[in-house]
Structure formats: C-alpha cells, structure tokens
Amino acid sequence: MPNVAMKRPPRGQHYTEEQLKVQHLKPTLRQLSGYLLQKRWPLAAVFGFTVVTTVVSIIGTRLNGLIIDRYIRTDRLKLLAMVCLLMVGMYVVASGFNWLQSHFMVNIAQETSTRIRQDVFTRMQRLPLSYFDQHPSGDLMSRLTNDVDNINTALMETFIQLFTGVISVVGMLIAMLVLSPALTLVVLLASTGTYFLSRQIAKFTQTAFRQQQAELGQLNSEIEETLSGKKTIQLFEQADQVLTDFRATNQRYVHHAYQAQVFSGALGPLNNMLNNLAYALITVLGALAILHGYQGITVGIMFAFLIYMRDFTGPIRNMLDLINTLQVSIVSAERVFAVINAPAEQDAPHVVMPTLTGTIALQHVTFGYQPEHPILHDISLTAKPGEMVAIVGPTGAGKTTTINLLTKLYPLTAGTILIDGHPIDQLDRYALRRQIAIVQQEPFLFSGTIQANIRLGRLDASEADIVAAAKAANAHDFIMQLPAGYQTQLSDRQQSLSQGQRQLISIARAFLAQTPILILDEATSAIDTKTEMVIQQAMDQLMQQKTSFVIAHRLSTIQKADQIIVIDQGRIVERGTHAHLLAQKGLYWRLYRSQFQGKDV
Amino acid sequence: MFQIIWQHTRRWQRVCLFAAPLVMLMEVFCDLQQPTLMSKIVDTGLAGSGHPQFILQTGGVMLLIALVGACSGSGCNALASYASLKMGQRLRNHLLSLALATRNGHDLSTPTLITRITNDVIQMQNLVMTLTRSLVRAPFLLLGGIVMAFLISPRIAWILAIVVPVLLLFMGLVIRHSVPLFTKMQQAIDRINRVMRETLLGIKTVKSFTLENQQQQLFDQINQQVQTSSVAAQASVIILAPVVTLALNLSIVAALWFGGGLHASHLITTGQIMAFVNYMIQITTAMINTVNTVSSLSRAQTATARIQAVLDLPQDAEPTATVALPTDTTLRFEHVNFAYPGGENVLTDIDFELPAGAKLGIIGTTGSGKTTLVDLLTRLYDPTSGRITIGGVPINQLSLAQLRQQVAVALQNSVLFSGTIASNLRYGKETATDAELVVAAQAAAAADFIAARPGGYQAQVTQRGNNFSGGQKQRLNIARALVAQAAILVLDDTTSAVDLATDAHIQQALRQVRQGKTTIMIAQRIAALQDSDLILVLDHGHIVARGQHATLLQESAFYREVAVAQLGKEVLTDA
C-alpha cells in the first residue's frame, strides 16, 4: 500500500566538485559511527520499525490485488469484510510504528548533533592561538554551523530515507518478481529510464548551472560593492556608469539562468511522462496477458503492479539525490572532525602559584610561528615589580609577538621567560593568565550588558566593584549617559560604542582583574582626540604599582617609561630611558621624530 | 505582491504569466486521464472473450497523452522561467537605481539593502515560478482528481467528501501549531551561532582572561536549548506523514469494501474501483504538495514586503542648473542648522567664510558634526535652515553634477571598487592621463606602493579593495580626490589609518598640490591642521572656537590640551 512521505521536494542543489571530495573516508566514517553507536539501541529500534512499516506496505498492496481477484470479482462479501478489517488493523499498527520511527530518529539526530557541537566548541576553545592564525574565522564559523547542520540533515533525513529506500526497493522487487517477472521488467525499464534521463539532463545542465552560479556570484558582489560605496559613487557622479555595467551583468545572469532552468525544469515533467508510460505499458501488457492467460496474470496482479510502480520509481529517484547529500555530509563531517581532532594547547600540570610580585625576565627568547623561521631573535630583558616597560619599533618589528609570548599564547622556540623566578612553561596557563591583565588595541566586547562585559575581568566581582573599576577607568561618566546605564545591551555586530569607549570598557575590565602584571597595546589610529586623553589618564592610573608592558604609540607614554626597548626586525637594537636614547641619536631618535612628533624625516 | 510583479514585466512576459498556468492545466488534464483509460481497458477490453484491438488502441491513446503531458509540463516551465527571470532582472535594475538615487538618510542600512536586492529578489523570482507552476499544478490535480473520482462513481466518491476536508484541516492545524515552535528553534540556533562567533572572534580575550569555563557553561546551556527546541519543533510535524498515510490507506480499504458491495449489486465495475483507488493516491499526493506550496508562499510574503519598502524609498527631485558654475570658490556657510528628520540638531548656527584658495581645518570629538558639515556642502543632505554659497551662488541653485564637479571629497571610510588601481583613480575624472594619475598618487604618498605591485597602475583591486591595507586604501582615496582636480578639495579624516611618519609625508606633499585650491581638512592630528588659514573647533554641533593655530593655542583649552598631548610641551613655546 502506498506510503506517503512528507519530505521536502528535492532541493535541486548543485554541489561543486570541491564539496563532494572526501579525503579520509574511512576514519571519518569510523568517527561518525562512534557517535551513532552511542545510540545503538534506539537505532536498532528505528530499523525494526522501518522493516515493519515497509513490509506492511508491500503486503497491503498485494492484498489489494487479492481482494479484487478473490472477493470483489466473485462477490464474496463476508470474506471481503474480514480481510478489510485485517487490513485496517495492519495499517493502524504500521502508522503507529511509522510515527515511533520518526520520533526516535528526531531524538537520535538531535542528541548526536548536540554532542558533536559541544565537542567542537570545547576543543575550539582549547586550540592554540596559532591555529586561529592559520584558519580564517569565517571558515571555522562555517564548520561550527553549516557543517554541523549538514551532519544533522544527513542523520535525520538521508540516513533513514536511504535505509527505508533500500528495504522497500528490495522488498518490492521480490514481491513483484513473485507476482510476474514480465511486468517487473516493465517497471525496471521505467526506473532505469528515469535514472539515465536524470543523469543525462544533469550532465547537460551542470555546465549551465555552474555558469549561472558564477554569474549570480558576480551579480551579488556587484550589488554589494555598489551599495557599500554608494556615497563615493554619488559624490563622483558615477551612478549612470555603475548602473550600465550592472545591467549588463544582470542580463548575462538571466541569460545563463534561463538556460539552466529550462533544462532542469523539464526533468520533472519528463519523469512524470516515464511514469505514465510505464503505467500505460503495464495496463496494456497486463490486459493482453490476462486475455492470453499468460503467466497466470490477473486483474488483481495488474492492479498491484500499478501501485508498486509508483512506489518503486519514487525511492530509486530519491536515493540518487540522497547519495549526493550524503556525500556532502561526509565532507562536512570530515571538516568538523578536523577541528575536534586538532591538537590542543600544551600545558604544564597544575601547580599552586603564589601571588606574584611581578618580576619578569626574558632570557634569550627566540620565537617563530614556524620554528624554522624565527621572527624574534635572542630577546633578553628584565622588568622589576612596578616598573613600566615601553616597547617601540617600526610596524612589523615584533612588538605584539613579544607580549603574546608572556601569556603563553604561543610556545617559545628557544630561551625562557621567568615570572618571579618560575619558568612559564612550568606554570599552568590558567594560573598564569589570571595574574596578567591585557588591554588590546582593538578590544573585543561580547554581546550582553556593559556590566557583564566589565565583569569578564573577574567573574565574582560585585556590582560595586564594577562601578569602582569603571570610575577608575574614566568609563563611568559615559556609561551613565547611556539610556540604560550599566544595563545597556551591546548588540552583536552593530557596535553602538565608539572605539574609544570600547577601549575604556576594556581598561575597566583590566582594573577589575587586579593583577600584578599588565599588558597594554595602545591604539595606533588617531581616535577621537578628547577620548584619547581620557584613555591616557585611565591607563596611567591603571599602571600604578603594576609591572606593565606597553606597546607605545604616544609621546606621553614613552616619556614616562622606566625603560624603553626598541625592537627592529625581531631584535632589541636599543634600550634605556627616553633622555638616554634621544642622546644616542639612533633608531629611537628617528622614530621619536617621525612616529611621535609627526615630523617628516 | 501582484502589483510589484505586474510593474516589472512587459508585454511578452505578461503573456507568459498567463500562458504558463494554462499550459500547466493541460499537463494536469493529461495526468488525470490515465486511470480512467486504464479502467476502460479493464472493463471493456477484458469483457467477454476480450477485445485486443480496443486494448491496443486505448493503450496508444495513453502513450500519446503521456507525451502531450510531458510537452505541456516542459513548456509551462519554459514560459514560467522566462517570466520570472525577466521580472527579477527588471526588479533588480529598478531597486539598485532607486537605492543609488536616494540622498537623504533613511532607515534601511546598507546590509539590509544588499539582502533585499540579492536574496529577496530571488525569492520573488521563485514566487513567480510557484504562482505560475506549482500553485497551479497541485491544487488542480487535487480538484481534478476529485472531479474524476465523482465521474467514475459518485456512489463511492463520497469517501473523498469526508477524507479530503478532514485531512486538509488536520494538516493546516499541525502546520499552524508548528510554526511558532520552528521560530523558537531558529532563535535558539541564532543564539548559539552568536556565542560561537563571539568566542571565535574574541578568542584572544577569552584566553587572556581565562573565560573558557564561563563560555563553555553558556554554550552548554544554549546548546541544550537548541536540542530541546529542535526536538519540540520536529516532533510537532512528524505526526503528519503517519496520519496522512493512514488516512489514505483506510480510504482505500473503505473503497474496496463499499466497492465490493456495489459490485455485488452490479452498480460498479472492477475497473472503476481500480481507477478510483488510483485517483485516491493522486489526490493524496496533490494534497501534500498543495499544503507545502501554500506554506512556502508565506515566506515569499515577507520578501515582498521587504522589497516594497525599498520601492517606497523617498526620491528627491534632482535640481537642474539655473546658473552657471561660479569661477570664484569663496565658500560661505550662513547660519546653517541641520537635524536628521525627527532628530535633534546635529549642527547649530554654523557660520563662517573661507576665501578662495584658503585652507580650513576642522577638529572635534566623535559625533561633533564634522562629517555632516561636509555632507551639507556636497548636498548629500540639505540644511534645515541657513544657506551655503560658493562664489556667492547658493548651492541649491546648482545641479548636483555641477556642484560635485566643483567639489572633490576624500571620505573618512574610503571605499575602493573592484577593477584596477587606475580605474579607481579615474573615478574622479574619466579622462585623466597616466601622468595625472602619477602626480596625484605621489601627492598622496601612494606612488611607491603602487609601483611595488605587479602591474603597477594596472594592478587588480579586489572587491571593496580588500587586497589593500587600511592605510593604503586611505592614500588611494586621497589620490582619487586629487585626480578630479576640482576647485574645492575636502579631506575628511583621511589619514587616520596611516602612521604618523607617512601622515607627515602626505601633509608635506599636499601642501604643493592644493596650491590655489580651496581646501577643507578634517583631522584629529594637530600637525595636519596647524598651517590652516582658519581652524574651527566643533563640539556637539557648535563652533566653540575659531582662529589660526597660534590663536587657538591661547584661546581654546581643548585645542591646547590636544596639541600638548600630541606634540609635547614644546608646542607652547614654539608658538
């Protein structure tokens, strides 16, 4: 009996070859089945239910034929009533099983993808920073979202449909062969015809589709570029030119899209036609066979075949689509597992760390993102508790890299860093990082309230602590001017705060952290002058009684520093106080005049 | 919805809009004939000793009808594709030209506009396809199936009269119940995506402040919500398939049962019962497709509303030139006030005169109205009151083309367009010679890095100039404004992303190029402003101090503080 599947119509997705390329099939499947095996009993139940519903559907159809032959044509109404009652019972049970099957599958798929998502996220947070340097955030994001989604779809739809498909195709094939090999041949011809027709048309339209996608990409990026640069286009009176170009692209897209759609859209009607042809052939051949008493074919058998045929070509056509989807999902799984399996940050065993006084010593530190290409060479320096060290140098000299090493964001290639005499590679990184507060050049704020963002400095801080920190950071005043004060929601992408204000919040965070060591990266670009002075004041306040490292871009900072380290091409080239270094008239002197005083040299 | 479609189609496309559904009806009609013909073969062809001739003839008709159906289906698709794609093409052109023509601030942000012109137009295209194809096929197969079933035998077709309405109602209710659940699921997914994106982008902050545990807790909590809401949403619809299948199967059993009774009383034939069951299957499939199509329409509804909002953008009348372009470039702002519609004053009583060839410097905090002042000069906005004149001519008497020929602006957020470096620089003046480009690039300190690129001035610029650093983009942006060789040059904080040394170099070079040009320079760095003939200090839309560098050092506390912070205490003694 027909089994109605409430599935989405085929999506007509066209995958690029890239998407369909699986590199490590076996390990990927093993890992994926590892997740599924945790659900082996529910899965076994799903398979059991599927077998029952499919078998009921096959038997039901056969019974239809028998009813026609044995009871209706011979008017045996009592027996008819009994068989009908039997069928009602069968169908009710089968539908119940059908529901249970979906119910179990939804739970299996959702629980599994929740687990996968959790595993990716947990691992992602533990990956070393170098991993994020090598993998663009957009790519990682799409692994976390789209790829996990694809796995979910594979589990939810593809898997179950493929299984049902195989069982019904095999089951029906057997049932049909038993009934009539000749009519089975007609059905098989229609199915293979459908298959080859789809393949042929797909091949034909693939080129057209690829062109359509390429043109669409071009079209969309032109739209995006035009609208992003709208003001410039208006000011330079270029709208007419831009629109003329756009019309041409638009025309090209429509041209290719039309070719692609006309051919691919014909697929539906053509398949429908093949079905109708098979329907007609079964009727005609069946009727002729009945007349000639060939192979014992009856009207009832013909009737059963007419229904089998629809149920047979459907799953076959579907399974072809599903194999494509499955392939995409496996590639997705591979991408997701690549993150889960990436090696996590190395760490020393947890040691109890005393509160630090903040003596920091770098001894012959050498570092390269790839150890064979060092970018910092033999850096040695010592900062005593409470000292302020300013790091200056031309762009790309290695200033940021140097301070990243202090918090174990990257492993050293050679040399050691000692904090209060402890080599940092023997310290647990959480313990170490809790002793060091960082103010980044472009601070990152999370969506949530301003209060929550400041609290990130110390999670157990009270509201009063937060206000105190904000006041110390000169952030309190502007926060109070916002409509909701500390409860102002910062939205996801659309940042409502200026860069200066964001920096003040991150300074408040650092105040709250109350660490003995501080790292500051001053903003390079000239932000709003007034705010800049407010920031400067807050930073001075923050640095009091702390050992601080500052990547300096401002005059007042270097003038106040206890020692200035001048870095060029990964080496310390000069060091000393402001006055001492100016007197040397070396690189520092030149930097001072150009970078800090803005004089053309 | 229909209005948008109608307005963006022309003669042949409109014909297609009507022809496609008609052709589709032909396919539906063909599909519906098959079971009836089959029943004739069974009842007539097999009657008595059989009529092979009749069987073959009817079979031939069935084949022919299958062919006609396929042709109609493909034909409908071709017509519908043509209408929908052409409609999309016109709509895109129209929307983009509207978006480029609006001047005044409206509440559609750039990303929103982009989504509307890209995705929403595609949605509209699909809508036209649906309207002319799927929305015709499924309901008519449903209706036609019912009609055919009644024609076959009204005596058992009453089963349909019960089953069809009940099932339609059931499906409608289930879908209505599930929509809010799916919305909830989507919201949970959005939340978890946000947490993931933020952790990813802020990974350095997370690690530095050891926030891993707190992020993990947050994530686990939302991840659980995603699971619960997804299960709830999907559980609400998985009831559909079993129930529809059951209803169909039970109706078939009913048809066989009642059909058997009628057959015994010779009121129905075997072939008719068989045809009826076949129609029942067709009807059920059509019913599911109808419900799917109708629910997909609601998505298109949102797209339509979003497109309508773009079509409704206010359009300003383009002023036509009434006077000749003045040769004198003396610039005057006369008591100019400006507020965005419904907002507070952004600029209040701006009043100054800048003699031709002089340099005006503007300094002030973020939000003090510096950029807005420039927008008024280029008429991206018009003042609420007061007026602006160039050479004594009010700028609203000039056409936009005239005005913008006179004023070249380098914007704060510099945008480059895909193409070559040269094509970007020629934005200012299409006829500029290569030599002119080089001169401009040199003045903007861009010549060196341009020369270092393979291809030099012919080097490719990718979308939005993403293959250039912020500082390089700003320098090309300045060069582009210089190529225009307009009499008035506006530089709006154009060197914020270049280092002080390069900035100093640019300022030096600009001094040469702007000889004889009226210049407005907005900057944060005193070094760039100190040679101005007039400097305005802006605060909250008011001019709070004005004068030359030396004067302001004495008179403006703000200016003095900034100068000392940037240039050291010596600046006071130097002056």
pLDDT of residue A11: 39
Which residue from A minimizes the CA distance to B230? Answer: A110
Tokens of residue A33, six digits: 């089945």
CB contact under 8 A, B238 and A102: yes
**Side by side, which strands form the sheet with A376-383?**
A376-383, A360-367, A414-419, A422-423
Rounded distance, CA A277 to CA B286, Å? 20
Which of these, A341, A335, A22, lies nearest to A149 by C-alpha position? Answer: A335
CB contact under 8 A, B246 and A124: no
Task: Determine the 3-state secondary structure of B520 from DSSP.
Answer: strand
Q: Which of B209, B449, B480, B503 has the highest number of chain A CBs within 10 A, making it the mutation to test binding with A?
A: B209
CA-to-CA dists, residue B324 to A174, B393, B406, angstroms: 90, 9, 12
Topology of domain A386-398+428-564+573-596, per CATH?
Answer: Rossmann fold (3.40.50)
**Amino acid, res. B75:** G
CB contact under 8 A, A284 and B56: yes
Rounded distance, CA B424 to CA A229, Å? 12
Residue B384 falls inside a structural domain: yes
Q: What is chain A's length?
A: 601
CB contact under 8 A, B260 and A75: yes
Rounded distance, CA B81 to CA A265, Å? 9
Residues of A in contact with B73 (CB under 8 A): 266, 268-270, 272-273
Find tokens 């000011």 and name the residue: A235
Which of these, B393, B372, B400, lies nearest to B384 by C-alpha position? Answer: B372
Whether B202 and B306 map to the same domain: the answer is no
Residue B349 falls inside a structural domain: yes
Q: A69 CB near a chain B CB, below 8 Å? A: no
Beta bridge partners of B363: B537
CB within 8 Å of chain A, chain B residues 333-372:
363, 365-367
Rounded distance, CA B100 to CA A468, Å? 49
Least CB–CB distance from A262: residue in B81, B274, B363: B81
Residues of A in contact with B96 (CB under 8 A): 223, 226-227, 243, 246
pLDDT of residue A600: 52
Please spell the DSSP secondary structure of A318-333, one letter per residue: HHHHHHHHHHHHHHHH
pLDDT of residue A352: 66
pLDDT, tens digit, for every residue of B237-250? 889 889 988 998 89
Q: B397 CB near a chain A CB, below 8 Å? A: no
Which of these, B71, B95, B76, lies nearest to B8 by C-alpha position? Answer: B95
Q: What are phi and psi of B9, to 5 degrees?
A: -130, 155
Residue B276 falls inside a structural domain: no
Residue B237 falls inside a structural domain: yes
Whether B179 and B262 map to the same domain: the answer is yes
- Domain range for B253 is 154-267
Please spell the DSSP secondary structure of B395-432, one letter per residue: GGGS-HHHHHHHEEEE-SS----SEEHHHHHTTS-TT-
Buried/exposed A238-261: b ≥16 CB within 10 Å, e otherwise: bbeebbeebeebbebbbebbbbbb
Whether B13 and B87 map to the same domain: the answer is yes
Whether B207 and B310 map to the same domain: the answer is no
Q: A582 CB near a chain B CB, below 8 Å? A: no
Rounded distance, CA B450 to CA A506, Å? 37
A433 and B209 Cβ atoms separated by less than 8 Å: yes
CB contact under 8 A, A243 and B227: no
pLDDT, tens digit, for every residue of B392-434? 888 888 888 888 888 888 887 777 888 899 988 988 788 889 9
CB contact under 8 A, A233 and B464: no
Residues of B in contact with A80 (CB under 8 A): 256-257, 260
CB contact under 8 A, A235 and B263: no
CB contact under 8 A, A250 and B92: yes
Whether B116 and B91 map to the same domain: the answer is yes
Q: What is chain B's length?
A: 575
In order along its 575 residues, chain B shows pLDDT tens digits of: 788 888 888 888 899 999 999 999 999 999 999 999 999 998 888 887 788 899 999 999 999 999 999 999 999 999 999 999 999 999 999 999 988 887 655 667 777 888 888 888 988 998 898 888 888 899 999 999 999 999 988 888 889 889 999 998 998 899 889 889 988 998 898 889 888 888 888 888 888 888 888 899 999 999 999 999 999 998 988 898 899 889 988 998 999 889 888 888 888 888 898 899 889 888 988 888 888 788 777 777 888 888 898 888 877 666 666 777 788 889 999 999 998 777 778 899 999 999 998 999 999 887 788 888 988 898 888 888 999 999 888 888 888 888 888 888 888 777 788 889 998 898 878 888 999 999 999 988 889 889 988 989 999 888 777 788 878 888 899 999 999 888 999 998 887 777 777 787 788 888 888 888 899 999 888 888 888 999 999 988 899 999 999 999 999 988 988 888 777 777 777 65
Tokens of residue B45, six digits: 């062809």
Whether B95 and B213 map to the same domain: the answer is no
pLDDT of residue A446: 86
Q: What is the mean pLDDT of chain B?
A: 87
First to last CA, chain A: 89
Whether B405 and B544 map to the same domain: the answer is yes
Rounded distance, CA A314 to CA B344, Å? 65
Q: Which of A511, A529, A588, A593 has the highest number of chain B CBs within 10 A, making it the mutation to test binding with B?
A: A529
Residue B199 falls inside a structural domain: yes
Q: What is the CA radius of gyration of chain A?
A: 36
Rounded distance, CA B93 to CA B82, Å? 17
What's the CATH number where B1 sits?
Answer: 1.20.1560.10
A274 CA to centre of own chain: 41
Q: A434 CB near a chain B CB, below 8 Å? A: yes
Topology of domain A24-179+333-342, per CATH?
Answer: ABC transporter transmembrane region fold (1.20.1560)
Rounded distance, CA A243 to CA B522, Å? 32
Whether B403 and B534 map to the same domain: the answer is yes
Whether B20 and B57 map to the same domain: the answer is yes
Assign residue A553 a region (left: φ > 0; alpha: ψ between -120 and 50; beta: otherwise): alpha
Residues of A in contact with B552 (CB under 8 A): none
Rounded distance, CA B527 to CA B511, Å? 13
Rounded distance, CA A572 to CA A587, Å? 11
Task: Determine the 3-state secondary structure of B309 from DSSP.
Answer: helix
Rounded distance, CA A483 to CA A31, Å? 51
CB contact under 8 A, A118 and B220: yes
pLDDT of residue B387: 92
Least CB–CB distance from B63: residue in A266, A277, A436: A277
Whether B102 and B239 map to the same domain: the answer is no
Residue B40 falls inside a structural domain: yes
Beta bridge partners of A547: A517
CA distance B475 to chain A (A): 14
Which of these, A385, A386, A366, lies nearest to A376 by C-alpha position? Answer: A366
Q: A87 CB near a chain B CB, below 8 Å? A: yes
CA atoms within 13 A on the CB side of A412: 22
Whether B490 and B359 map to the same domain: the answer is yes
Residues of A in contact with B71 (CB under 8 A): 269
Which residue from B minimizes the CA distance to A435? Answer: B209
Q: Which of A69, A243, A251, A446 has the highest number of chain B CBs within 10 A, making it the mutation to test binding with B?
A: A446
Residues of A in contact with B201 (CB under 8 A): 137, 444
CA-to-CA dists, residue A163 to A51, A318, B274, angstroms: 9, 12, 30
Residues of A in contact with B58 (CB under 8 A): 284
Whether B98 and B207 map to the same domain: the answer is no
Q: A30 CB near a chain B CB, below 8 Å? A: no
CA distance A51 to chain B (A): 15
pLDDT of residue A353: 67
Q: What is the mean pLDDT of each run of 10 residues along chain A (601 residues)?
A: 45 49 80 87 89 88 86 83 91 93 89 91 89 81 84 75 82 88 87 80 80 86 86 83 92 92 86 88 90 84 86 75 78 89 79 76 89 88 91 82 86 89 84 86 84 90 92 88 85 64 88 89 68 80 87 80 90 90 87 68 48
Q: A86 CB near a chain B CB, below 8 Å? A: no
Q: What interface predicted TM-score (ipTM) does this complex get?
A: 0.82
CB contact under 8 A, B204 and A444: yes
Q: B218 CB near a chain A CB, below 8 Å? A: no
pLDDT of residue A351: 66
Residue B28 falls inside a structural domain: yes
CB contact under 8 A, A447 and B404: no
Residues of B in contact with A144 (CB under 8 A): 193, 196, 200
CB atoms within 10 A of CB A352: 6
Residue B421 falls inside a structural domain: no
Residues of B in contact with A119 (CB under 8 A): none
| CB pairs A-B closer than 8 Å | 433
Q: How many domains does chain B have?
A: 3
Beta bridge partners of A521: A551
Q: B270 CB near a chain A CB, below 8 Å? A: yes
Rounded distance, CA B191 to CA B213, Å? 18
Q: A91 CB near a chain B CB, below 8 Å? A: yes
Rounded distance, CA A161 to CA A155, Å? 10
Q: Which of A133, A232, A347 has the highest number of chain B CBs within 10 A, making it the mutation to test binding with B?
A: A232
Find tokens 């300094």 and name the residue: B363
Task: Determine the 3-state secondary structure of A5 from DSSP.
Answer: coil
Rounded distance, CA A552 to CA A556, Å? 9
